[in-house]
Structure 1
Amino acid sequence: MTTSMNLLFITILLVAASTAIAETNMLQDLCVADLNGVKVNGYPCKDPTKVTPEDFYFIGLAQAASTSNTSMGSAVTGANVEKIPGLNMMGVSMSRIDYAPGGLNPPHFHPRASEAIFVLEGRLFVGFITTSGKLMSKHLNKGDVFVFPKALLHFQQNPNTATASVLAAFDSQLPGTQVVTPALFGANPPIPDDLLAKAFTLGTQEVQKVKGKFTPKK
Structure 2
Amino acid sequence: MAFLKLLLSTIACMAILVSLAYATDPSQLQDFCVATSDPTKAGLDVPANTNNRLGSGVTLVNPMNLAGLNTLGISVARLDFAPYGLISPHTHPRATEVFTVMEGTIYVGFVTSNQANGGNKLFTKVLNKGDVFVFPQGLIHFQLNIGKTPAVAFSGLSSQNPGVVTIPNAVFGSDPLISVDVLSKAFQLDVGLVKYLQSKFSTGS
TM exceeds 0.5?
yes
Q: CA-atom RMSD, angstroms? A: 1.8
State the match for 1:203 in structure 2. Answer: 190
Say if 2:154 is the partner of 1:163: no
Say if 2:143 is the partner of 1:149: no
Q: Distance in 1 between matches of 2:60 and 2:43?
A: 8
Say if 2:93 is the partner of 1:106: no
Say if 2:70 is the partner of 1:88: yes
1:85 CA displacement? 1.3
1:25 CA displacement? 4.4
Q: Structure 1: which 5+ runs fail to align?
A: 1-20, 33-45
Q: Distance in 1 between matches of 2:182 and 2:30?
A: 50
State the match for 1:60 in structure 2. Answer: 43
Alignment of 1:1-218 (within 5 A): 25=27, 28-32=30-34, 46=35, 51-53=36-38, 56-68=39-51, 70-131=52-113, 132=115, 133-216=120-203
AA aligned to 1:106 is: S
Residues 107, 205 of structure 1: CA spacing in aligned structure 2 closer, same or farther, 3 A cutoff? same
1:210 CA displacement? 0.5
1:58 CA displacement? 1.2
Secondary structure of the corresponding residue to residue 137 of structure 1? strand
1:143 CA displacement? 0.5
Q: Distance in 2 between matches of 1:135 and 1:29?
A: 39
AA aligned to 1:57 is: T
Number of residue equivalences: 175
Identity %: 43
Residues 27, 205 of structure 1: CA spacing in aligned structure 2 closer, same or farther, 3 A cutoff? closer
Q: Structure 2: which 5+ runs fail to align?
A: 1-21
Q: What's the TM-score once normalised by structure 1's chain length?
A: 0.76
Q: What's the TM-score once normalised by structure 2's chain length?
A: 0.80
Higher relative contact order (CA 8 A, sep 6+): 2
Residues 26, 148 of structure 1: CA spacing in aligned structure 2 closer, same or farther, 3 A cutoff? closer
1:203 CA displacement? 1.5
Deviation beyond 6 Å, 4+ runs, structure 1: none
1:64 CA displacement? 1.4
**Contact 1:98 / 1:165 at 8 angstroms: preserved in 2?**
yes
